[in-house]
Structure 1
Amino acid sequence: IIKKKGLDTLPKQELLNNSVLALQVEICELANEWRGFKHWSEDREPRNESLVECKECKGTGLVTGNPDDGWCEYCSSNGFIESNPMLEEYVDCLHFFLSIAWQIGLSTDDLYAWEDQLEGETTILFTELLINVGQINGDQIFANKPKDVFQHRREHFKASLYI
């Protein structure tokens, strides 16, 4: 995507800064679809099922709006498509994790995360995740920079991925 969109012309640090912020936004969007933190809401159920209007037929179920032209195969002619908003946000997060890993030069070994080793309240885990993601490029704000910037970024990336 970076090359396809022409983002490879951006300075590397600017691209990383933008990617880290984009990942944090996607994490917040994932939390928003999870909804568990919304203690004020009567609807705290995760958004893992949704019907959205078909973009191909604009909800008509028809290829062109005219039955003579045929039915929309994209939505099986019902005008709507099933989606899983929470899963879509999760996939967006994974995309940015991989993009950041590539940008900071991590190896495939760095992408390994232990399973079932972390326990905690989901709201706290989301907060910790946002903090660790922010620290991936946090060396940019320190008066005293870390001696090994790569190691600093690597450790915070791995901690984020672990969560």
Structure 2
Amino acid sequence: MDIQGLFAIQKQLNDRIVQEHQLNEQDLFKEKLLAFLVEVGELANETRCFKYWSRKSSSERTVILEEYVDGLHFVLTLGLSLGFENIKLKENDSYQQSVTEQFLTIMQQTHQLDLNRTLDKYQQLADSFFVLGQLLGFSHKEIERSYLQKNKVNHQRQDAGY
């Protein structure tokens, strides 16, 4: 996955939104954190991994991938906000946690990033988010392809006055 390329593409969208919505003078970090947590919650809801009381199966794989990519937009946005664009993706194929545990780890790490906005905390969050993608069965190639498609949709939404 070309993570540096994804940061560059996300920067274009973020810059466009800031300019078109006249947000240049605003610190939006808290809004971005909350937006990320909301996206993570929406993704968890689609996987239904925590719904022990329900027999209904998870959403279709394509729906889950789209929700995952929505979260990726905000992982990248958080890194851009903090100036942490030069991260390396860690290859990890030995998972110690369930999907539910991974969601909880991501949420905890998001709160930790808010308290301590360091490269180390951001790298941990990004790593955990990519591990979640792997736990959900997505390849880096699939994630990147879906991200690029959703990014086009996001630009179209801005064109339409979203």
Q: Same fold (TM over 0.5)?
A: yes
Q: Supply the AA of the counterpart residue of 2:59.
A: R
Change (3 A) 1:100 1:136: same
Extract unaligned runs of 5+ from structure 2. Answer: 1-12, 129-162
TM-score by length of 1: 0.62
Q: Which has the higher contact order (CA 8 A, sep 6+)?
A: 2
1:26 has 2:39 as partner: yes
TM-score by length of 2: 0.63
Displacement of 1:4 after TM fit? 2.2
Contact 1:129 1:160 in 2 (8 A): yes
1:112 corresponds to which residue?
Answer: 89
Please state which structure has a larger fraction of its residues in strand: 1
Q: Tell me which stretches of 4 or more aligned residues in structure 1 moved more than 6 Å.
A: none
Change (3 A) 1:34 1:10: farther
Distance 1:133 1:111 in 2: 18
Displacement of 1:26 after TM fit? 0.5
Distance 1:119 1:90 in 2: 20
Bigger Cα Rg: 1
Contact 1:21 1:134 in 2 (8 A): no
Extract unaligned runs of 5+ from structure 1. Answer: 50-83, 140-151
1:160 has 2:112 as partner: no
> What is the count of residue pairs matched by the alignment?
113
2:160 corresponds to which residue?
Answer: none
- Residue from 59, 73, 76 that aligns with 1:47: 59
Displacement of 1:111 after TM fit? 4.2
Distance 1:111 1:20 in 2: 21
1:124 has 2:71 as partner: no
Please state which structure has a larger fraction of its residues in helix: 2
Displacement of 1:153 after TM fit? 2.7
Q: Deviations over 1:75-118 (max 9, x none)?
A: xxxxxxxxx2211110001110111111100132x242332143
Percent identity (aligned): 27
